[in-house]
Amino acid sequence: MKKAVILLSGGLDSTTCMSVAHKEGYELYPISFNYGQRHKRELESAKAVASFYKVKEHRIFTIDYVGGSALTDSSISVPAYQEKPGIPVTYVPARNILFLSYALGYAEVLGAEAIFIGVSSIDYSGYPDCRPQFIEAFQKVVQVGTKAGVEGKPISIKTPLINLTKGETVKLAIANGAPLHLTTSCYNGGEKACGICDSCILRLKGFEEARVKDPIPYENH
């Protein structure tokens, strides 16, 4: 069976990616990261999603981040959602570069054909490592920097959500039977989602657009 590594955070997007890979017939090898994020609760959601799909192995890697983001530095507050240009303080420096690098090494070891990552360039927070240009550049790294690439069988970086709105992502997840009730997206990582951070607002927008009730509880909604 063909194999795929899935970057699984435990959120809406990564869980939808997992459902896409599952529907496409891949054997699933999700990986998650403990990188000092304040919303570590997402790791429990990732474990629950992995268990739902009865995966053969779910690996959690630890990365010692040095801060530089509201998600990894407790001295920087997670702001409420604001529509304004620029890269927000919740951007984690080079996060997807690191995550994809781990995924790529693991995929080579497994002999996997693909890596799934839930980036979107439509409804997102403005992070530079979620754009199509970044994915295209990393695919070139795969081609020239790995044994699989040099031998003419490069591992494919799959981004099934890249051109979808959050509403379209929700609809895709539901169509695939993804366990959205097990997911969490809140940057604050409380027992209930805060309902006011970027991630919560974008998620709520998606469910409203899809005309479906979000199955997780919120402090403010």
Summarize pLDDT for 66-80 with one digit per residue, the tens: 778 988 888 888 878
| Spatial separation of the C-alpha atoms in residues 28 and 159, rounded to whole Å | 15
Rg (CA), the chain: 17
Closest CA to 34 of 79, 129, 87, 98: 98
Mutual angle of helices 166-175 and 198-210, in 10-degree steps: 60
Provide the whole-model pTM. 0.94
* Mean pLDDT value of segment 1-9: 97
29 φ/ψ angles, rounded to the nearest 5 degrees = -130, 80
Nearest Cα neighbor of 199 from 7, 8, 6, 13 is 13
Confidence band, pLDDT 50/70/90 cuts, at residue 84: low
The one-character DSSP state at 218 is: B
CATH number at 3-210: 3.40.50.620
Residue 125 has pLDDT above 80, yes or no: no
| Portion of the chain with pLDDT greater than 70, in percent | 97
